[in-house]
Amino acid sequence: MSFLESLLHELQDQLASADSSVSAGHVAEAATSERLNVTLPAGIMSRLKQQALKEGRSCSSLATFLIEDGLRRHTVIR
């Protein structure tokens, strides 16, 4: 049996014996990051795209940075 075949059988065995009570909610709670859908006005989206292009990064990456920066700036320092 090849390495890939043995790996396939091992994965199939693990899936067959997996706890069937695991839900999508459990998986989402265990994730280190989550997905968020945001609807932006066309002008804001255009500015986001232009800035991301200037910086050579994705819109998602820039949006994440901007949200983190905004939250840091709006957090009360004690």
Tens of pLDDT, residue by residue over 9-19, are 877 777 777 66
Whether 53 maps to a domain, the answer reads yes
Q: Is residue 30 part of a domain?
A: no
Is the Cβ–Cβ distance between 49 and 55 less than 8 Å? no
Q: Is residue 58 part of a domain?
A: yes
pLDDT digits (tens, 9 = 90+) for 39-61: 999 999 999 999 999 999 999 99
Number of independent structural domains in the chain: 1
Q: The whole model's pTM is what? A: 0.56
| 55 part of a folded domain | yes
Q: Which domain holds residue 58?
A: 37-78
Q: Closest Cα partner for 34 from 57, 64, 56?
A: 64
Q: How many angstroms separate the Cα of 23 from the Cα of each of 13, 14, 19, 20, 36? A: 19, 17, 10, 8, 19
